[in-house]
A and B are shown apart, each in its own frame.
Chain A
Amino acid sequence: MRVKVRFFAYFREIFDGREKNVVVPEGSAVGDLLDHVCDTEKRRAEVFKERALKPLIIAMKNGTSIQSLDGLETKLENDDVIAVFPFVGGG
């Protein structure tokens, strides 16, 4: 399966770019994908706290927060766009 990961705010510096195209095995979940892209200690430390997402780090599948789906267990489908970013405020 081919999926896209998009990064926002300072995650663009941490992940060296605004997006990455990734090929993942069938049956993969969002957690597997984030595991895959967090390929350094620094990246992992920004996204994960132990096996969970760090507080105030948000991941979305096609514009829907994964918290309202199945969290990191949310299954991926072909052409999914996964966004990951620190909670940004403003207005």
Chain B
Amino acid sequence: MSDISRYGYHGKILEVDLSSGRIEHKPLDPELVRDYLGGRGLATRLFYDRVDPACDPLGPDNILVLATSPLIGTNAPTSCRGHMVFKSPLTGVIGTSNSGGTWANAFKASGFDALILKGSSRVPVLLDIRPGRAELLSASHVWGKNIHETTEVLSEGAEPGSPVKVLCIGPAGENLVRMAAVANDRNRVFGRCGPGAVFGRKKLKAVRVSGKQKIEIKDRELYQSGLDQALYLMKQAPVTKRLLRELGTAGLVELINLISMLPHRNFQNCSHRDEDVERVSGETLAKTLLERAGGCFLCPIGCQRHTAVPSRDGEGEKGEGPEYETTVLMGPLCDIYDLEAITRANYRSNELGLDTMSFGGTMACAMELFERGSLTPEDTGGLDFSFGNAEVLETAVRMTALRQGVGDRLAEGSFRLAASCGRPEYSMTVKKLEIPAYDPRASFTQALGYMTSPSGACHLRGGYAVSLAFFGGTKEIPRFSLLQSPMAIRNMQNLGILQDSLGICRFTGYAFSIDPWARMASGVTGGDFSVTRLEEIANRVAALERMFNVEAGVMAADDELPARFSDVPIIAEGKERRVSRDDQERMRQDYYGIRRWDERGRPSRELIDALNIRRRKS
């Protein structure tokens, strides 16, 4: 490895103890960089070395690490993503969340590679970071303000040419809502697993950054060869060239319905009327509410939806969204096909700081509990929680973020909500994380991805098998293959680990895989980040995430889908489809074998030694 304080990295970590107010600048260990690269890998290692796996996620001992990658600070396409790792207040297992935007680049330009947040302040604080200096300031003037207001207030007074970037929570995080997000750039969020509640518990309202520190590129020719290839391929592939810009991610809505994978009524079935689905499709959004597409920093793809809707008082309002997951989880999953209502609820979630995915899953669960009489009108304060009631969405978002009335119970997530009603079987979660908008019965590969994702049911950490479902058809990877799903999902998960550790966007994967990134990462750092080495890093990170989870109490039985998916079939490709307990067990054991974990899902000693994973520092 070349000089770590120069090429690709600054070689500096900022460690902040919010209990004592102590702020330390620490050197970045070159071994960590060699073995964990950056982003998700680096954050996981820094987290694992410091956290007590038995800690209360909403206690002062939880630790949150935010890391950037060696590509952040270059001009590599989409290289703008930061990664957070923490113990999740929603799931109790590793929380791992990723966001694009401009904050990660600005943080790195302040001269640091990673940020470690420990302890808990007694009063609301703002962490202000500039080159060579970081300090904790009072945040009492923005406590209670929403994400957009906070961003505006904290951005005021920036010197011309030296913009500040704000990462912050809204009321949902302050109120310790277990699905609270952390946002940057107003509408880009670290959404999943509840990092906002960890910020809220630490009384950390925001992290403001500015600076112009640059990194250098060691081997420009090697870097450029990867970059040229990446840009060329992104211009060739229809998805990255035009489709995501034209339709957003919601361009998938009708197609996922076509392959019987679009969940309905809290995953009771995947049956919709085509004309209903069309009302919430990406095509319809593009023709009605969309004002323009937008992109994160350095992104040529442009999937952002900048939209406008008429508001209830007749005035129009503007905002961002919805993307695919929000559209489906707040929409068809709740039997709602009203694009304006979904968009408004999305706007409120953005402002208040709520993960739209876990909210949608929790709302659908609440609607099923209401339908079955386990949640009564008395419980909801008279609100009609019937499936299909679009009117209630926006109100429920607000009540959840503010923990008002029944919102106080929704704020706990669907697992705790359903359990509190005595009906835990209606929570569609794995490890207490709400399932994304692809029904696992429609693809065994996706099912196994949800089961084995380190953070619970997440399509991004668990492996995104939808492309396999489309090509599902190729003889190589059938949609319903018990035999091939374990290897396929391991490969998808590893690709995801590397994308998260490189600080780049998943959607580049529609144009090319890892080779151009390997050349760019090696070129920037002067280190060996060949495809083979990157694959080893991915396996190491997967093992370390699992080691944390095992220490936090995860067992093989936690790698399982809710009973609905084994007991109640959907119809796909003309046949009844379910993922039986036996099928789950078989895929799980095959997957453990491929990962070199034992039959109880614990990384083997031989694997830990072979990957040279250091044991926890005591």
Contact = CB atoms under 8 A, between A and B. Distances in A.
User: A and B: partners?
Assistant: yes
Interface of A: 6, 8-10, 12, 56, 58, 60, 62-69, 83, 85-91
A88 B255 contact: yes
B422 interface: no
Interface string B463-507: 010110011111100100000000000000000000000000011
Given A9-B243, A64-B573, A91 B470 contact: no
A29 B48 CA distance: 57
B296 to A, nearest CB: 15
Given A8-B255, A91-B464, A63 B260 contact: yes
Contacts of A56: 237-239
A58 B254 CA distance: 14
A9 to B, nearest CB: 6
B246 A10 contact: yes
Contacts of A85: 255
Contacts of B412: none
Contact of B244 (A10, A64, A65, A90): A90
Contact of B238 (A12, A60, A63, A86): A86
B243 A86 contact: yes
Given A88-B252, A91-B252, A67 B473 contact: yes
8 contacts: A62-B574, A63-B573, A65-B474, A85-B255, A86-B239, A87-B467, A89-B249, A90-B248
A58 B470 contact: yes
Contacts of B251: 9, 88, 90
B242 interface: yes
B325 interface: yes
Given A83-B258, A89-B467, A91-B466, A68 B459 contact: no
Interface in B12-38: none
Interface in B265-291: 282-283
A27 B574 CA distance: 21
B240, B254, B323, most chain A CB atoms within 10 A: B254
A72 B362 CA distance: 43
Contacts of A58: 470-471
B474 A67 contact: yes
B572 interface: yes
A60 B507 CA distance: 23
Contacts of B459: 91
B473 A90 contact: no
B303, B323, B470, most chain A CB atoms within 10 A: B470
Contacts of B232: none
A56 B243 CA distance: 12
Contacts of A12: 283
Interface residues of B: mostly helix, strand, loop or mixed?
helix
B283 A90 contact: no
Given A9-B283, A65-B471, A68-B472, A89 B255 contact: no
Given A65-B472, A68-B475, A90 B259 contact: no
Interface in B437-467: 438, 459-460, 464, 466-467
Contact of B247 (A63, A83, A88, A91): A88
A91 B324 contact: yes
Nearest to B260: A63
Contacts of B238: 56, 86-87
Contacts of A87: 238-239, 467, 470, 510
A63 to B, nearest CB: 5
A76 to B, nearest CB: 15
Contacts of A83: 255, 258
A89 B252 CA distance: 7
Q: Across the A-B interface, give the 7 residue pairs with the lowest CB-CB distance, nearest first.
A: A65-B473, A90-B249, A68-B473, A89-B239, A67-B473, A89-B510, A90-B252
Given A63-B260, A87-B470, A89-B510, 9 more contacts: A10-B242, A10-B243, A56-B239, A60-B258, A65-B471, A87-B467, A88-B239, A90-B252, A91-B249
Contacts of A91: 249, 252, 324-325, 436, 438, 459-460, 464, 466, 506
Nearest to B259: A63
B209 interface: no
Contact of B574 (A64, A86, A90): A64
Contacts of B478: 68
